[in-house]
Structure 1
Amino acid sequence: MTTSLEVAANAVMALSIVLAGRNNVHSWWLGVIGCSMFAVLFYSSRLYADVALQIFFIVTCLIGWRRWAGGGGNGGGALPISKARPLLVGSMALAGLAATAAYGVMLQAWTDAYAPFIDSAVLMFSIIAQLLLMGRRLQTWPFWLLVNTVSIPLYASRGLYLTAALYAAYWLNALASWLFWRRQMRGLEATAQLNA
C-alpha cells in the first residue's frame, strides 16, 4: 500500500536524480531530504541494507554538494566531468561483488531481512555509483543502471509499487544522463583543445 511518506520521498528524489543527470549542484541538498525520508520508509519495510544505504547517501550528498560546488577542494571552480580509470572501475566492481556476498550472509544470519543478497547488492553497488557520482565520473551511470535494474523487482516484491515504478523511470534517467554527461564531457574536451 502506497503511503504519503513513499509519495513524498519519491517526489523529492525524482527531482534530485533528474538534477544530478543534468549535472546540477542542487541535486545534492534535495538528496539529503529525500534520503532521510527513504530511510524511514525502508526501515518500516524491513529493508535494513537500504536503511544503511540512505544514511550513507545523506553523508555523501553533503560531501558531493561541497565537491561539485568547489571543484573537489582544488579551488578551481566547479568539478568537471571526467572518466575514472578502467582498473579502478574494475576493482570497484569486484569489491562490490565481494561485499554483496559478505553483507548478504550477515543479514541472512542475524536479521529478518527480506531478500538479503539482493538488498545487499543494491547497497553495495549504490555505494560505488554514489562515489563515482561525487567525483563527477562518467561511469557512475552504468552502475546506476545496474542498481535500478535490481531495485525495481525488489521494491515491487515488498509492495512498494510507486517506488518500483519510479526506479523504472530512474533507469531511463540514468541512460539519458549517461548520454548527456558524455556529450558535456566531449564538449569540454573540445573547448579545452581549442583554447590550448
Structure 2
Amino acid sequence: MTLNSWLEQLAQRWAQMSGWELAAVVLAVAYLLLAVRQNRWCWAAAFVSTAIFTLLFWHVQLVMQSALNGYYMAMAVYGWWHWQHGDGGDETGGLPIHRWGAKHHAVALGVITACALASGYLLDRHSDAAWPYLDSFVTWAAVVTTFMVARKVLDNWAYWMVINSLAIVLFVDRGMALTALLHATYLVISVFGWISWVRDYRRQPAETAVEPS
C-alpha cells in the first residue's frame, strides 16, 4: 500500500466514522492521557469508551473484540477501585507506582506466550484469520498489560510500546488506516507515560518500589 492510498483510505474512514465510534476513540485517548497523569478519572473514560466499543463490535459481529472490550470494562471498574483503595492507597487516591521483579515478568510473559500460541493455533487451524499468532499475541498482551495498569506497575508502558508497535503493523497490513493511526498515537503517549511515571517513581519512598507478591 502506497502512502497516498493509505492517506486516502484514512480520509475515507474518518468521513465514515459514526458519532459513537468517534466518541469511543476520543475517550480512549483521554484515558491514556489521564493515565499518564495518574488521574483515576482515566478509568471512567476507559469504562465509557469500552462500553461503546463493546456494543459497536457486537453490532458488526466481531464477538471476540466485543468480549475483549467487556473485559476492559471490568478492568476499568477494578482500576478505579484499586487506584483509590489498593495497596498503599489512601483517601487522596495516592496509590504508589510499583515495579515488577523478574519472577512477575516471567509469569506475565509466559501467560501471554502460552495463550497466544494456543489461540493462534486454533485460529490458524479452524479459521481464515489473518496473522493468527500476531493477532493473538497483541490481544493477550493487551489483556495482561491492562491488569498491570490497574495495579500501577511502571513497566506497563514498556509493554504497551511493544504492543502498539505490533498493532500498527497488523492494522496497516489489514488496510485499517484509522485504527493504525490510533495505535500510533497510543505509541507516542506510551513513551510519555513511561517518562512521566519513571520521574514520579523515583520520587517515592524506597519501600513502595516493588509490588508485594
Place the TM-score, normalised by the shorter chain, in its bin: 0.7 to 0.9
Residue by residue over 1:4-26, the C-alpha shift from the partner in whole angstroms, topping out at 9 and shown as x without a partner, is: 24322211100011111111100
Question: Residue 39 in 1 paired to residue 54 in 2?
Answer: yes
Match of 1:147 in 2: 163
Shift of 1:45: 6.7
Counterpart in the other structure of 2:112 = 96
Q: What percentage of aligned pairs have identical amino acids?
A: 27
> Which digits, 9 at most, give the CA deviation of each residue in 1:34-83, with x for residues without a partner?
112233444567765433321211111110111001234x6644321111
Compute the displacement of 1:136 (Å). 0.5
Gaps of 5+ in 1: none
Query: TM-score, structure 1 length as denominator?
Result: 0.85
Q: Which has the higher helix share?
A: 1
1:1-196 paired onto structure 2 within 5 Å = 1-2=13-14, 3-4=17-18, 5-42=20-57, 48-72=63-87, 76-77=90-91, 78-189=94-205
Provide TM-score, normalisation by structure 2.
0.79
2:38 partner SS: coil
Change (3 A) 1:93 1:130: same
Q: Root-mean-square deviation (CA), in Å?
A: 2.3
Q: Which shifted more, 115-124 or 33-42?
A: 33-42
Q: Which amino acid aligns with 2:53?
A: F
The Cα of 1:117 is off from its aligned counterpart by: 1.8
Number of equivalences: 190
1:164-188 per-position Cα deviation (integer Å, ceiling 9, x unaligned)? 1121011011111111101101112
- CA–CA separation in structure 1 for the residues paired with 2:135 and 2:76: 21
Please give the per-residue CA displacement for 1:69-126, whole angstroms capped at 9, x wherever unaligned: 1234x66443211111121112211221111010112233444544322221111101
Going from structure 1 to structure 2, the CA distance change for 1:92 and 1:167 (only over 3 Å counts) comes to: same
Contact 2:89–2:96 (CA<8 Å) still a contact in 1? no
